[in-house]
Amino acid sequence: MSLALARKYRPRNFATVAVQNHVANTLKGAIARGRVAHGYLLCGPRGTGKTTLARVLAMALNCERRGEPELQGEPCGHCGSCQRIWSGSASLDVVEIDAASNRGVDDARELRERAMYAPSGDDRYKVYIVDEAHMLTREAWNALLKILEEPPPRVVFVFATTEPQKIAQQAAPILSRLQRFDLKRIGPAEIRERLAAVLAEEQVAFEQDALGMIARAADGGLRDALSLTDQVLSLGESAAVTAERVQTALGLIPDDEYLALLDMVAERRAVDVFAAVQRLADAGVDFVLVLSGLGDLLRAQLAIALGGVPPELPERMRAALETRKDRLAANDLLRMLHALLELEPMYRRSGQPQLLLETLLVRFALLDRTIELQEVLQGFGSGGREDPPSRRVSHEPRVASAHALPSAPPAAVASAPGMPSAQAVAQVMAPPVPTPRPATGQVADAAAASQLADRHAAPRVPTAPPTIERVTKEWRAVADAIRAKGRGMLAQAVERLVPITITPNGGLTLGYDPLDDTFAQAADNSRADVLAAAQGVFGGVSSVTLKPYTPPASDKPARDTTVRMTAHDVQRQRTEQIASRSPLLDAAVKALDLELLD
């Protein structure tokens, strides 16, 4: 039976452990200087060398040539003790325990009792290697607290885990009794270098692009990379490792498929999305891999669009993306990446991944129908000048069209179907004159001029008070005037008041239902605003008074006509409040029929 590459090429000393020099050099120095600790905690992703470092440490402590000056803390790797420990065979002084299946308090007590026995020789160490240490229960850790604080002579515990945060949550005192080392993820360049050395030793021809594909699929784990290489070598009669064989053996999606999706989005061919995704489904691909590969492609295209160089990208793929860098703007690519990240948590739990992928690609293909609100305002009439601080738009809530695409990313805050750019919007709104000026710019200038005129206007001439009939007939205009200032709740309260009488001096008396005085209290607290609105509509109103009022029986409605606020009313009022802070934003809301999303 052949030996797996991950076992056959497991490092035999600290020097050959890939990437983890900060851990290997510290352990080697501790052995060489006689400063070996009684407990170590090795943390890191899978396949990065935790168990390997633990075995090399055990080999160095029990090597038959230990202490020779030329070794300098390294194991020889060839003596009988080193061979047994390296291969995982039975050894009296090295015990490996799987904490996933030995996680209870009884297992911890047995380990504690075994640790009390001395090593087999006076110059040897008893080493206990506990894999998947985060699987131990709280009670098991508590049983080990004392022996980890005061262990017997020449006993070393090495715990390996991929989730150290669980140990911190279950048994925080353990961490102060161990030396902790965090292992790094192994980068694609180091994985390719290691695979090239292994394949050269095996006398197998290979392509660099094929090694790059294996390195990306390994996701930072060298053991995974060696296992995938074994899988590729098992396919077919040819011994060479080629890109085609890697794609076939690992079920990877060809780069041409991703480029076809990118071209589809860039050319706005939303109708072709469903056929392309169905073709991938018929090929039996994993849509999670499609989503991951699409994210990597968009990330690389964004780096190229910004003038950078994406790392770890095949030369053929880099050249293909270079030719496409002008087809999609950087802000569009950023919005795509943001939408993809928002979808990913839902994607892994969904029972319809194909539908989610189709809708995502359709959204990408329809990005030309969304524009940023900042571009709309600039195209509407800032005239190339920066707005003064009093008129500058800076609102955190997002405003979007009622026809906006669902779950649009934050960068795409405004949407107007059929309007590919802010300049097109400005041209539609501009008056037909030889030198057109955007209509919203005129609205903003008019609003500013109106505010300036209000500040410098001459005192108004007192006018005669209106009749009670006119006030009753046009009372809703007062509520509309208050609503236009962004006071939607107060406008709702004013609509429920009933004009009763008005004196020759302009004293207006308003009645309210004594059985429901909630709105009357709101109006009474803002009586000055109600008076200002009434003066603006009628003129001649000098004061406002509220009192309970019960209409005659003939005027009572036959049924309850109370108007209750809905979620749409609240949303509309919030939009009006935000828009009232800026004339430009108010003009954009009215011109594009925008609504507040969140």
Divide the 598 residues of the chain into consecutive groups of 10 and give the mean pLDDT of each group: 84 88 92 91 92 92 86 86 82 88 90 87 89 92 91 92 92 91 91 92 89 89 91 80 87 88 92 92 87 91 89 84 90 91 83 90 84 55 43 38 39 39 42 42 46 46 78 89 83 87 88 78 85 87 86 53 58 70 70 62
Question: What is the spatial distance between Cα 126 and Cα 61, in angstroms, rounded to a whole number?
Answer: 9
Question: Is-contact 167 134, C-beta < 8 A?
Answer: yes
Burial status of residue 256 (CB atoms within 10 A of its CB: 0-12, 13-18, 19 or more) = exposed
Question: What is the spatial distance between Cα 168 and Cα 134, in angstroms, rounded to a whole number?
Answer: 9
Give the pLDDT of residue 78: 85
Question: Is-contact 494 478, C-beta < 8 A?
Answer: yes
Question: Is-contact 490 522, C-beta < 8 A?
Answer: yes
- Give the Å distances, CA to CA, from 402 to 398, 405, 501, 542, 590: 12, 9, 43, 42, 13
Half-sphere CA count of 147, side-chain side, radius 13 A:
22
Give the pLDDT of residue 404: 38
Give the pLDDT of residue 397: 38
For helices 243-250 and 208-218, the axis angle rounded to 10 degrees is 30
Dihedrals phi, psi of 501, to nearest 5 degrees:
-145, 165
Question: What is the spatial distance between Cα 65 and Cα 68, in angstroms, rounded to a whole number?
Answer: 6
β-pair partners for 543: 507
Dihedrals phi, psi of 130, to nearest 5 degrees:
-110, 105
Give the pLDDT of residue 226: 93
- The tokens describing 374, both together, are 């900042």
For helices 315-322 and 255-266, the axis angle rounded to 10 degrees is 10
Residues in the chain, how many?
A: 598
Q: CA 319, 325, 331 angle in degrees (round to 5)?
A: 145
Question: What is the spatial distance between Cα 130 and Cα 138, in angstroms, rounded to a whole number?
Answer: 15
The verdict on pTM exceeding 0.95 is no
